[in-house]
Amino acid sequence: MIDLTATIGGRTVSPALPIVDGSPPSQIEMSLQSSLDAYVSSHVPIESGDGIRAREGVLVELGRLHREWVRCVAMRAGLNRDAVDGAGGELFTSGSYRLGVHEPGADIDCIAVAPSFCTREDFFGSGYVPPGGKGGGGSEYDDEYDDEGVIRRDPDSLAERIRRHPDVSNFVPVENAAVPILTFDWEGVNIDLLFARLASPSVPPGIDIDDDAILSGVDPATEKSLNGPRVTNLIAALAGGTEERYRTFLYVVRLVRKWAKCRGLYSNKMGYWGGVNINIAVCLVLQLYPNACPASLLRKFFLVFKSWRWPNPVMLTRPHDAGLGLPVWNSHQAATMRQVAPMITPAYPAMNSTLSISRQTLQILHEEFCRGHSIVDGLYRDYQRGDVRNNGGDVETGDIWKELFEPSDFFIGYPHYLSLCIVGPTQQDAQAWAGFVESRMRKLVSDMMGRSLPLSKIQLWPKKFDACVADRTALLTHAQRANSITYFIGFRVDTLRMRGNQLDVERQLANFRNYELSRFYPLLPGMDILPRSFGVKELPRMCFEGMYEGGKVAAMKRRRMLIEADPKRQEAKNKRKLARLKKKMEVMQRKKMEAEASASNAKAKNEEEILAEANVKDEATTEENVADSRKKRKREDEGETNPVKGEEEDDNEEEEEEEEEEAALLESALDAIEGAGVERGKTREEAEIDRQKLLAGELLGDAEDEPDGGGANAASNGEACGDRKLTREEREAEILRRSGLVIVSDDEATVLGGNRILPWRHGYRRMMAGVKKEEPTDDVAGDEKPNVEALQKPISRRVRTVIKFKTKFDVVELDAGGRVIDKV
């Protein structure tokens, strides 16, 4: 039985989900792990010993400065000496540094915890009025800013103490945020310092911030600030059942952090996953597979979140309410139902740590999860088959894992890009302004552009560029161009929803300025955002440096390779190729039909010549027969004897034999003509039927509509049909022909419905049928007159025909001209 419970802050917590697989790793998984170890040792660097000692020294100095500030505030508050000495003040860390998975150059998240008499104004030093201010004719602006244009702060405030330290640079205070923060570099180490004010009069050393009672009476900003170290400590406790399990947890967290940064997915304020989200996600997978090795756990990580049923929340333990009146996340609340991909923090009060994720960013995350699972699972399957082990070089060096951590194809994956250049009048103002804009940029991308514009996909690249790519026609000063940063947004236009040829984003940018950026204080002249549109081939070279070996040229080659390998493009290419082949086939079919027409014309001409010769011979034979009959009657009258008559009969038999021989020769000639045609050779019976139809006018479409019509045509048709049984196609064609429909193939019909008889033609046909008269037959007496009224009465016969289509076909919509309406 595997025990995953943990005791922290005076209470015991247990996982929210049961174990899926608690079996130890297999031999194949351990072999895969060896190659992953080789890759990590050479491609995933860790902090060196000197770097760790430098960070520890910075934190020690910052903690000393923090305690001095608390002591100073206590003295200014008039507390007694014992209260001043016992005021204390602690500095806590959270995030990657607290877990020990930070990379070289990573920032440190710190929380300065102070007693109740220390306010946020004391921390930032805002609202400070120097002695003698607003007097002597000085303006309010002169009192608020010093000679360098920096906001005047209380010299005894912690913010001012840090800013004036000789080892501090890039100092940026963000006081108006939901969680106020100080960002600065101390001896090259980037630090994000938060402020937490407890309700107690002192903060003694060793205070347990994991106890829920520490949140009693705190303000919302302090609650959010303390949530960082409390969540980190609880995650470490849930993942640290055994030493081996905790090492596996840290191992996979390092890999997932590297993967997210390479793929452009590491930034919580930009709408993606941050450090705490990755810690929660990996800890959840570890709870499901507690005995897995790092390689297997990484594979399970992509499998779990590829298959996760969003918006179901990701939670390590069930949320609990400590009864302090703080809001706890609840899935049944109306506000939580609109959250796209909630990830709940395990510490009290439980809250959603992924509020910034939108539908657009979740789409990108899901695509990357699927890609990662495809790569890692493919490696595992290759190990099962033994394919990877045959390639010893890649296995030993771990190069088989390079594909997973390849840089993102963001700058070659979209046809259109929009750059946002954030400019400010001075370096300090630009840093504060840029931090404010960055915290709200996701609203521009996901809420304003993603929802109101006809876009199929939009993505914000979370990494900034320290350069200005604004148009040269923009009226910017040299200081503004020097103090600027740039972000890029890639998007694809949904052609089905697009109306017109241009995409206008001016309204969205105007709303972003008016409703979001206008909240910044103080909004000074020179603070602005400048958009500019780019095509994929027009992007500046700096976008490709450091991501692709060979720069922009190599990136464009990779783009062409990805385009050619795209299944949709291959399908479209195959469709175009098929269309060209169909066009060629149509040309060949047209030539074939022309050849058939010429052959049929030649055949008809030969038949006419043969028939003409036969008619001449028949006339000559008829004349001879008439002459012979006259001679015979004359001989009979003259009393000739019978022997001569026998000789004449013999001559007639010889003539009949000659006629039969000629007929046989004609049939053979006709058979030769049929065999030389393009179509298949027809039998003599079929040829006779076609000939009869041709003579009757049926092949020319001149036959009448009456199915029982008399005359020579009906007789000949009946005789032809009596010779053989018609096929199903011929019977159906005959039914359609008698119904007034002309049979035209798809190749012959240039316009759908072109073979339809128009309504006004039916009246003409009925009129012609009405004036048709019957000729008298032999049964009518010569003196009997025909019934003129009956002959002049119109013949109204309506043929009802039911057509059942035996072939499935697509239903299309036609316009008034009979042409197909293309809805694509």
Looking at this protein, which amino acid is placed at residue 17? Answer: L
pLDDT digits (tens, 9 = 90+) for 50-70: 888 899 999 999 999 999 999
State residue 101's pLDDT score.
87
Q: What is the mean pLDDT of residues 720-732?
A: 63
Compute, in degrees rounded to 10, the torsion defined by CA atoms 249, 254, 258, 264.
60
Q: How sure is the predictor about 734, in pLDDT bands with cuts at 50, 70 and 90?
A: confident
pLDDT digits (tens, 9 = 90+) for 19-40: 999 999 999 999 899 999 999 9
Contacts (Cβ under 8 Å, ≥6 apart) of 423: 430, 468, 470, 476, 480, 481, 483, 484, 526, 527, 528, 529, 530
pLDDT reported for residue 613: 76
Q: Is the pLDDT of residue 301 over 50?
A: yes
State both tokens at 454.
Answer: 């006809």
Q: Helix-strand-coil percent breakdown of the chain, rounded to 5?
A: 50, 10, 40
- The tokens describing 677, both together, are 């045609």
pLDDT in tens, 464-476: 999 999 888 888 8
Average pLDDT of the chain, as a whole number: 79
| Average pLDDT of span 715-744 | 60
- Per-residue pLDDT averaged across 700-706, rounded? 40
- SS3 call for 296: helix
pLDDT tens for residues 190-205? Answer: 999 999 999 999 999 9
| Nearest to 228, CA basis, from 254, 200, 193, 184 | 193
Residue 150: pLDDT over 90: no
Q: Which residue has the higher pLDDT, 764 or 420?
A: 420
Interhelix angle 567-638/642-676, rounded to 10 degrees, is 170
Helix (H, G, I), strand (E, B) or coil at 199: coil
Rounded to 5°, angle at Cα 342 from 337 and 343: 150
Mean pLDDT of 550-562: 89
pLDDT tens by residue, 656-686: 565 565 555 555 544 544 444 434 455 666 6
Biggest CA–CA distance in the chain, Å, is 176
pLDDT computed for residue 746 by the predictor: 47
Q: What is the C-alpha separation between 110 and 540, in angstroms, rounded?
A: 37
What is the rounded CA–CA span in Å between residue 597 and residue 588? 14
Token pair 């996340």: residue: 329
Under the banding of pLDDT at 50, 70 and 90, the label for residue 93 is very high
Indicate if the pLDDT at residue 743 is higher than 70.
Answer: no
How far, in Å, CA of 695 to CA of 86, rounded?
A: 123
345-392 pLDDT, tens digit per residue, is 999 999 999 999 999 999 999 999 999 999 999 999 888 887 765 544
Whether pLDDT at 696 is above 60: no
Say whether pLDDT at 542 is over 70.
yes
Between these two residues, 140 and 394, which has the higher pLDDT value?
A: 394
In this structure, of 491-495, 496-500, 636-640, 730-734, the range with the lowest mean pLDDT score is 636-640
pLDDT surpasses 90 at 813 = no
pLDDT above 90 covers what percent of the chain? 41
Cα(98)–Cα(110) distance, rounded to whole angstroms?
10
Strand partners, 490: 417, 459
Beta carbons of 4 and 238 less than 8 angstroms apart = yes
